[in-house]
Structure 1
Amino acid sequence: MARGIYIHIPFCHQICNYCDFNKVFFKNQPVDEYIEAIGKEIALIQQSKPEVFKDIETVYLGGGTPTSLSANQLDRLLEIINNTVQTKHLIEFASEANPDELTVDKLHALKNGGINRLSLGVQSFDAGLLQRLGRTHSNEQVYETIENARSVGIFNINIDLMYGLPGQTMKQWEDTIQKALSLELPHYSSYSLIVEPKTIFYIQYAKGKLNLPTEDLEAEMYDYLMNEMERNNLHQYEISNFAKGDNISTHNKIYWDNDEYVGIGAGAHGYIEGKRYSNIGPIRKYLDSIQNGKRPLQSEHEVTFEEQCEEQMFLGLRKEEGVSFESFQTKLGVSMMEKYEFVIHPLVQNGLLLLDDVGVRLSRRGKFVGNEIFQQFLLGE
């Protein structure tokens, strides 16, 4: 049974230089038709797999940029979602947003439609770095948007921050962290830049024109991030996420728990009934499939037992709590240590994993090389 629904809104008024998600420029796109298709795709899945929607805890609007839609379009999108999914008892109903697009009218539309969590793509408080990223907002717009969100009754607010950016200095990163913390938000996410194929940054990198920080500087930035979040009573519950109290991202935790979720929209990914799938990316082809009464599947893969074990480890180890012996045994029917002792013990001996009676988790040192550790669990390599 799925725990969450991810809904992809692929429209943007500005394409960021680092983004590799499925997205298109907003202008001249069939936005209204796409919104209607979202409801039709949900209905198509419900017809064939009604049990999948029985225990939905979260709905998450991602992109692209959900707030590229007008207030009226947001009203209609949320009306469709509320009419097709049982949203009254959701733990979390979240939306991504850009600070320079989130008008008061749009905030009212989000609030009236049930949204109770916002995630703002801030990335940096340095004007030069924002321009390099292809972001169009100002710091003043960030402050104003947060104030307006609180005024309409949305208090569960996250901002995304990025480090390891081209030309970024330690001083710039320290300034961004301090400005972010001054907002006294309940949640912060912070990610190092990954140069993905099919992005502007990738083209620049291939030409040798992307001046990235050294690994040592990037590690120093991550260390500063963890120290400052802890100093401000923000608990690091996942490698890149920090929360006050219980203000965690419930939707994202579904991914890290390796639980199932429904993916809706062009290019969306989902995981239901033991199968991971991706939807058709091109919007016209997506719409044509929906119009013909067919689910817009691009690919579908039944997750093997070995893959389930691997995913349980490398996703679960992202969490501060790590992976417990009990959860692994209950979900997969085998002992974690019998399956992965030959991987776990060397990592423990090298101080990268912590092992106790409950399970395994990353050490502080392990957090700096998380991706290298996760790789060890893929096919026992």
Structure 2
Amino acid sequence: MPPEAVYIHIPFCTNKCHYCDFTAYVVKGQPVDEYLSALEKEMEMWVRKVPPGRIRSVFLGGGTPTVLTPSQMERLLSAVRRFFPEWSGDLEFTAEANPGTTGPDLLRVMREGGVNRLSLGVQTFRPDLLVRIGRIHTVEDVFRSVEQARAAGFDNLSFDLIFGLPDQRVEDMERSLEQALALKPDHLSVYSLKVEENTLFHLLYERGRLPLPSEDDELAMYQLTRRRLAEAGFVHYEISNFALPGRESRHNRTYWLNEEYYGLGAGAHGYVDGWRHANVRGIREYIRRCRDGRLPVAERNPVPKAEAMENEMILGLRLLQGVDPSRFHRRFGRRVEEIFGKVLTSLFERGLLTERDGRLALTERGLLFGNEVFAAFVGEAEQACG
């Protein structure tokens, strides 16, 4: 099937957060308009090479897409409509936003341009922690951005929160959850901090200057999150994601269901026509290649059937509903037990996997040891397929 999802990367930010290893650059002095021209050229090249299906989801990520001016945003959204004109009636069009960067004019342009879901990078409601992790917004900015978004007509809001931050306590996480729920979001993505290389946090960690919570406290924060959000009516549908019924992220399900999507922009990753690719990360190199009529792909690899089978399990088990064996059979012409029988038996015996409503799903224990479960599938399909 042709791709029905589009990811567009806007690699500009007001500043670089201390934990961020994404392709993101401080916007001051950057050739933003040239970048938008390059994005349009890349869209044109991809849809000519692999024509799209009826688009079900679009995601503007970053970086911070809301650092664009209203006119720049209008230009970008117009290009999306031009190159991907067939939209499903229930299209989910998400834009990431940092609190404090969403003025009324920009929100109006976004809403009129088709964006119907905002994902706000809140991270924490503890003011000194916001400063500690390199965020420049305040708690008051969060309140203001939510109020402005509602006034602009956005009725689908998602918040990002992080736990396991330096010197963060379980009670801090509890307060952040309560303040988040008071703002009535429709979706929450709650992630554990990962100290990535090439970040300020990694440098501090290497020097012994990053006082992270204990593993027990981090686990307590996760379990608290699950319990409190369940009490508030949220469905825990993916390891790190919670939604009111019907508000699950459709775009992210594209990734978890191992479906193809366009990945556009500097540093973006895509999965098109059986190949995964990663674009060049440098802004000027990206612009240069697009201007020259070349796809800005830095690395491109085919996805063999065995690898696709493994991805089906590894990604699908992130969803709490689990993997549908009948879908696996339809997609690959093989029963899941034929390919992963030994792995499944071992995971069942260890209490990490169960069968629920005809699907293979993580147990409570498996949820806490997800990476161990996922690693068990690596290389297994290749052996089974000979």
Counterparts of 1:28-47 in structure 2, within 5 Å, are 28-47=29-48
**Structure 2 residues not aligned, in runs of 5+:** 382-386
Using the TM superposition, give the Cα deviation of residue 380 of structure 1 relative to its aligned residue in structure 2, in angstroms: 3.2
Residues 1:122 and 1:270: Cα distance change in structure 2 (over 3 Å):
same
Equivalent residues, number = 379
1:187 and 1:47 map into 2 onto residues whose CA distance is 35
- Is contact 2:50-2:273 (8 Å) kept? no
Gaps of 5+ in 1: none
Give me the whole-angstrom Cα distance separating, in 1, the residues matched to 2:74 and 2:241. Answer: 30
Cα shift at 1:378: 0.9
Whether 1:26 aligns to 2:6 is: no
**Contact 2:4–2:261 (CA under 8 A) maintained in structure 1:** yes
Alignment of 1:341-352 (within 5 A): 341-352=341-352
Check if 1:11 corresponds to 2:16: no
Deviation at 1:88, TM superposition (A): 4.2
Which residue is 2:147 aligned to? Answer: 147
The one-letter code of the counterpart of 1:164 is: G
- 2:120–2:157 CA contact under 8 A, matched in 1: yes
Alignment deviations for residues 177-197 of structure 1 (CA, whole Å, 9 cap, x no partner): 111111121111100001111
Distance in structure 2 (CA, Å) of the matches to 1:98 and 1:87 = 29
Deviations 1:195-217 (A, max 9, x none): 11111111111111111111111
Counterpart in 2 of 1:107?
107
Deviation at 1:356, TM superposition (A): 4.7
Moved over 2 A (4+): 87-90
Distance 1:127 1:356, change over 3 A: closer
TM (normalized to structure 1)?
0.97
Which residue matches 1:163?
163
Q: Return the alpha-carbon distance in structure 2 between the equivalents of residues 330 and 184 of structure 1.
A: 40
CA distances 1:270-308 after superposition (whole Å, capped 9, x unpaired):
001110001111010111101111111101000112211
Q: 2:379 aligns to what SS in structure 1?
A: helix
2:119 and 2:48 mapped to 1: Cα distance?
32
1:13-52 CA distance string (max 9 Å, x none): 11001111101110111101111211111101122222xx
Q: Spell out the pairing of 1:1-381 with structure 2 (5 A cutoff).
A: 1-50=2-51, 53-86=52-85, 88-89=87-88, 91-356=91-356, 358-380=358-380
- 1:34 and 1:120 map into 2 onto residues whose CA distance is 23
DSSP 3-state at the match of 2:342: helix
Measure, in 1, the Cα distance between the counterparts of 2:178 and 2:300: 44
Note the C-alpha offset of 1:3.
2.1
Structure 1 range deviating more: 212-221 or 278-287: 212-221
Name the CA distance, whole Å, in 1 between partners of 2:214 and 2:354.
28
Q: 2: CA distance between counterparts of 1:183 and 1:357?
A: 34
Amino acid at match of 2:327: S
Q: Distance in 2 between matches of 1:281 and 1:143?
A: 33
Task: Name the amino acid aligned to 1:100.
Answer: G
Q: Give the Cα–Cα distance (whole angstroms) in 2 for the partners of residues 257 and 116 of structure 1.
A: 23
TM-score of the two chains, using structure 2 as the length reference: 0.96
Give a deviation string over 1:54-105, Cα, whole Å, max 9, x none. 2321111000110011111111111111122125436211100001111111
Alpha-carbon distance in 2 for matches of 1:248, 1:210? 34
Whether contact under 8 Å (2:56, 2:87) holds in the other structure is no
The alpha carbon displacement at 1:357 in A equals 6.5
Amino acid at match of 2:375: Q
